[in-house]
Chain A
Amino acid sequence: MDRQTINRSIQNYIREVEQSIQEPIVYRDLGKMPLDTAKAFFLLLPMLNGEDWSSKLNTSAIAVGAVHAAFDVHDKVDIFDASSKEQQLMVLSGDHFSGIHYRLLSSLPDFLLITNMAEMIGRINETKTDLLMEKTDGISGIIESIIRVESGCIGEFHERYGFSKYSKIAKTALGLIWFVKKSMKDPSIERGWTSQIIKNADVDSAISILTSRLQEELAKAGFLTPFLKQEIHRMATPLLEKPI
């Protein structure tokens, strides 16, 4: 597997998610929903590493993408005034994307994933609310909260299909990527739930903790091809401007 093949796989996946969630009025007024390529990479990591990937898994993966799209658009709803048509459509498009995720999982049907994913969606919304209301204590609490929000659904997907070993790396890496972006004041992560609770000192500590954690996990990950390990490094190091 080379970088071009990885990119092609991610782009194909993103295209499939876009096609699945497309709604003509939403598309006309809000345009395409930007989908997170880092999340797509870690979701697809088992497939990129050569694991069997059936059409059932592909459909489930698209359902996870629909959930991520729903989260992203709902995070953009204005905290005080959502009365413009654009804002109203953001509320409804998120609901539509959630409905698509449920329809996809029902079409399989994968009852266990429906339940587990729903449990996780609930926990993620609780976590975002607690972060917004500044109810999360301590650096470890903040790190776990961010990891849950960023990778919770990917984790459920991996667990469901026997890819638990990928789940740890995905969680740590997505958590790390979030904190690195936060340190760089990347506008793409300044979402609804990103409150003042996360201070600069916490960000620096979190980066340090997660960098070590990822380093350990990658060292132990004999199942991953060397190229994919490099790719995971590449996704974090340019942002950190130092090797992990």
Chain B
Amino acid sequence: MSLYADFRKDLSFIEKELEQSIDSSSPVIRQASLLLLRAGGKRIRPIFVILSSQFGEYSMENVAKVAVSLELIHMASLVHDDVIDDSDFRRGFETVKARWNNRIAMYAGDYIFSRALVSIGEIEMPAVHQLLAETMLEICKGEIIQIEYQQQTNQSFRDYLRRIKRKTALLLSSSCELGALVSNATPETVGKLKRFGYFAGMAFQIVDDILDITSTDEQLGKPAGSDLLNGHLTLPTLYIKDDPEFQPFLLRSFDGSLTEEERGLMLTYIRKSGAIEKAQQVSNMYLKKAIAEVESLPDGEAKRALLQIAAFLGKRKF
């Protein structure tokens, strides 16, 4: 991504550290971890750590430990999510559970999680660990609640927002907060960056949920509409969940009886319903809030990059 250009060197360093951190003595764990690492991803958490750390006393050593740890926690959660969702593909790559089985995926996820703690364990700052531990527990709580809501149509917008806060926004918010904390940024700056991460994270997840409907299977590397097929209502579908023409699609998605042809018809129906535009407006509202937090920070490359990322998040197509 060209907007990372100014920080490419830092990101390359983190990428190497990531690879080293999962260099397991177990051949299967090593292969599984590399499979995940090479599937890529946007590395948005590491970049948020790098950029936030620029507002304090930047130390690449500490920044890398935090960035590696956060990306590993994210990766570990994806391996376990694929077990929960019974997903065979992610970003077009075979998942660990599909290549091997659920148990290997459980052990690989637990291994990657342990490596995240090894990485951050070297930072002797209580606030950093307490924040990360709370973040992890909240994310997990969010996933448990998501299972409670699975295949339930009586959900409110508030339920959805609370869910995506835990699912995505918290880790991005913590990425910014931790980057600022390890660089000893002022409490005021830490607060602004934390809020930036939170608002950007909310927008990011809403756009992700939109893309699940508007993208093709090839672009997503998995079937479009997977959220509904897995029993999850997202913002666009919340707008039309009571629409009598949409309801049969919704119920058949949830009970697993939706045919391929019906999936196509359902996606077309949602795209034409106006729900996508409404969801996009909510995402834009969060992005505006994110930008407002950053605007009062000192000028520089990091501020410019954060603003560019916020603009990109609103328009991204992948």
Whether A associates with B in a native complex is: yes
Residue numbers of A with Cβ under 8 A of B are 23, 25-26, 70, 74-75, 77-83, 85, 88-89, 91-96, 98-100, 102-103, 105-107, 109, 111, 114-115, 117-119, 121-122, 125-130, 132-133, 135, 192-193
B20 beta carbon closer than 8 Å to chain A: no
Which B residues are in CB contact (< 8 Å) with A88? 84, 147
Contact in complex: A83, B86 (CB < 8 Å): yes
Q: Within the complex, what minimum Cβ distance (angstroms) separates B85 from chain A? A: 8
A193–B101 Cα gap in the complex (Å)?
A: 12
- Chain A, Cβ-Cβ closest to B100: A133
A70–B76 Cα gap in the complex (Å)?
A: 15
Contact in complex: B117, A129 (CB < 8 Å): no
* Range for the number of chain B residues in contact with chain A: 35 or more
Q: Within the complex, what minimum Cβ distance (angstroms) separates B105 from chain A? A: 9
The 8 closest A-B pairs by CB, nearest first: A115-B121, A118-B117, A106-B129, A126-B26, A122-B114, A103-B133, A121-B114, A125-B111
Main secondary structure of the interface of B (DSSP, over half): helix
A106–B131 Cα gap in the complex (Å)?
A: 9
Which A residues are in CB contact (< 8 Å) with B27? 135
Checking A95, A109, A130 against B140 with a beta-carbon cut-off of 8 angstroms, the contacting residue is A95
A21–B65 Cα gap in the complex (Å)?
A: 27
B110 beta carbon closer than 8 Å to chain A: yes
Residue numbers of B with Cβ under 8 A of A are 24-29, 77, 80, 83-84, 86, 101-104, 106-108, 110-111, 113-118, 121-124, 126, 129-130, 132-134, 136-137, 140-141, 143-145, 147-148, 150
Which A residues are in CB contact (< 8 Å) with B123? 111
Which A residues are in CB contact (< 8 Å) with B140? 92, 95-96, 99
Contact in complex: A82, B83 (CB < 8 Å): yes
Which B residues are in CB contact (< 8 Å) with A91? 80, 83-84, 106
Contact in complex: A106, B102 (CB < 8 Å): no
- Chain A, Cβ-Cβ closest to B142: A92
Q: Within the complex, what minimum Cβ distance (angstroms) separates B77 from chain A? A: 7
Contact in complex: A95, B111 (CB < 8 Å): no
Q: Within the complex, what minimum Cβ distance (angstroms) separates B33 from chain A? A: 11
Contact in complex: A77, B129 (CB < 8 Å): no
| Other A-B pairs, 13, CB within 8 Å; known A98-B113, A102-B117, A118-B121 | A74-B110, A77-B83, A79-B102, A91-B83, A92-B84, A92-B140, A98-B136, A99-B136, A99-B140, A106-B126, A106-B133, A122-B24, A122-B114
Contact in complex: B129, A114 (CB < 8 Å): yes
Known contacts A88-B84, A92-B144, A121-B114, A103 near B104 by CB under 8 Å = no
| A-B contacts, 27 listed (Cβ < 8 Å) | A75-B103, A82-B84, A85-B150, A91-B80, A92-B143, A92-B144, A95-B113, A96-B137, A98-B136, A99-B133, A100-B137, A102-B132, A103-B137, A106-B132, A106-B133, A109-B126, A115-B117, A115-B118, A115-B121, A118-B121, A119-B118, A121-B110, A125-B29, A129-B29, A132-B107, A133-B104, A135-B28
A215–B150 Cα gap in the complex (Å)?
A: 54
> How many residue pairs at the A-B interface have CB separations less than 8 Å?
152
A109–B126 Cα gap in the complex (Å)?
A: 6
Contact in complex: A122, B77 (CB < 8 Å): no
A99–B113 Cα gap in the complex (Å)?
A: 10
- Chain A, Cβ-Cβ closest to B27: A135
Contact in complex: B144, A26 (CB < 8 Å): yes
Contact in complex: A115, B122 (CB < 8 Å): yes
Q: Within the complex, what minimum Cβ distance (angstroms) separates B157 from chain A? A: 22
Q: Within the complex, what minimum Cβ distance (angstroms) separates B8 from chain A? A: 30
Which B residues are in CB contact (< 8 Å) with A99? 133, 136-137, 140
Most chain A beta carbons < 10 A, residue from B26, B108, B126? B26
- Chain B, Cβ-Cβ closest to A195: B103
- Chain B, Cβ-Cβ closest to A130: B26
A103–B114 Cα gap in the complex (Å)?
A: 14
Contact in complex: A106, B147 (CB < 8 Å): no
A171–B25 Cα gap in the complex (Å)?
A: 22
Checking A100, A106, A127, A132 against B103 with a beta-carbon cut-off of 8 angstroms, the contacting residue is A132
- Chain A, Cβ-Cβ closest to B130: A106
